[in-house]
């Protein structure tokens, strides 16, 4: 299903009101809920452990997509699966063996995805596509919301799309997605768009019509 999906990142939500924030974005038409997990080591920021993700779960009626920016990652897969992730994505760069990591995610009965940082080539996914339900192409360096979109990633999206061919694999984009950049990434072949600061402003969900425009403009 390559229809366009919007996955708001709750990294930009009001941290004192996650339940209400999740319900609000879903009421406004969010397709997925994107959860950014950071370890203060792989990326220079810290966010949500498995108990936090478990607390989000009952509020998510759509699909909970858990982006693990942690290294090493394998030891935590089971905990995030048990916390209720529908999909777990792990970075190609997290090491040591992305193939093993993807197998471990699928062994938990959870959808699996690989994430490529801006400097990681498209060809990295060539031998692991059959283990992937999604390829996440970062369009900023991971760690923070509100950064500027890196345009050279558009070429990478096209290359990954060509490699995927007929396989049922989503291409997700994360970082700097706005009403200006969204059409560019969709044209290049992306179909799942993460959006943090474009959806939440000042720590709570934007006025519904603003959020609505973000969705429908894409």
* Least distance (Å) between residue 47 CB and ligand DX5: 9
Q: Which residues are catalytic?
A: 36, 174
Tell me which stretch binds Zn ion (CB under 5 A): 65-73, 84-92, 103-111, 122-130.
Answer: 65-73
| 9 known member of a binding site | yes
Q: Is 3 annotated as a binding residue?
A: no
Determine if residue 133 is labeled as part of a ligand binding site. Answer: no
Q: Pick from 36, 39, 65, 133 the residue near Zn ion by CB under 5 A.
A: 36
Please identify which residue in 67, 111, 156, 159 interacts with Zn ion, judged by CB under 5 A: 67
Dihedral (CA of 175, 180, 183, 184) sign: negative
Site for ligand DX5, rule CB under 6 A: 9, 11-12, 34, 36, 67, 140, 142-143, 145-147, 174-177, 194-198
Query: 12 or 101: whose CB is closer to ligand DX5?
Result: 12
Residue 103 or 197 with smaller CB distance to ligand DX5: 197
Cα-trace Rg, the chain: 16
Q: Encoding tokens for residue 86? A: 């529908």
| 91 contacts Zn ion (rule: CB under 5 A) | no
146 binds, among Zn ion, ligand DX5, none (CB under 5 to 8 A by kind): ligand DX5
Q: How far apart are CA 36 and CA 48, in angstroms?
A: 7
- C-alpha angle 209-171-63 in degrees, rounded to nearest 5: 60
Residues 94-153 that bind Zn ion (CB under 5 A): none
Binding-site members for substrate are 9, 67, 143-146, 174-176, 196-197
The residues that touch Zn ion, with contacts defined as CB under 5 A, are 36, 67, 174
């Amino acid at each position: 299903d390559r229809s366009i999906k919007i996955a708001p990142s709750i990294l930009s939500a009001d941290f004192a009101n996650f339940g209400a924030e999740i319900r609000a974005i879903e009421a406004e038409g969010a397709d997925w809920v994107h959860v950014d997990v950071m370890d203060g080591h792989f990326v220079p920021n810290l966010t949500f452990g498995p108990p936090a993700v478990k607390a989000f779960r009952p509020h998510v009626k759509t699909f909970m997509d858990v982006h693990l920016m942690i290294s090493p990652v394998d030891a935590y897969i089971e905990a995030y699966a048990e916390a209720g992730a529908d999909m777990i994505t792990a970075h190609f760069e997290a090491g040591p063996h992305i193939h093993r990591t993807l197998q471990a995610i699928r062994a938990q009965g959870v959808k699996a995805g690989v994430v490529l940082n801006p400097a990681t080539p498209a060809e990295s996914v060539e031998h692991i596509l059959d283990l992937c339900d999604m390829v996440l192409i970062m369009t900023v360096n991971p760690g923070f919301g509100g950064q500027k979109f890196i345009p050279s990633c558009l070429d990478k999206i096209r290359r990954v799309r060509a490699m995927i061919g007929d396989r049922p694999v989503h291409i997700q984009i994360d970082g700097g997605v706005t009403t200006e950049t969204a059409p560019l990434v969709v044209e290049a072949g992306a179909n799942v768009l993460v959006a943090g600061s474009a959806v939440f402003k000042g720590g709570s969900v934007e006025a519904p019509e603003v959020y609505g425009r973000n969705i429908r403009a894409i």
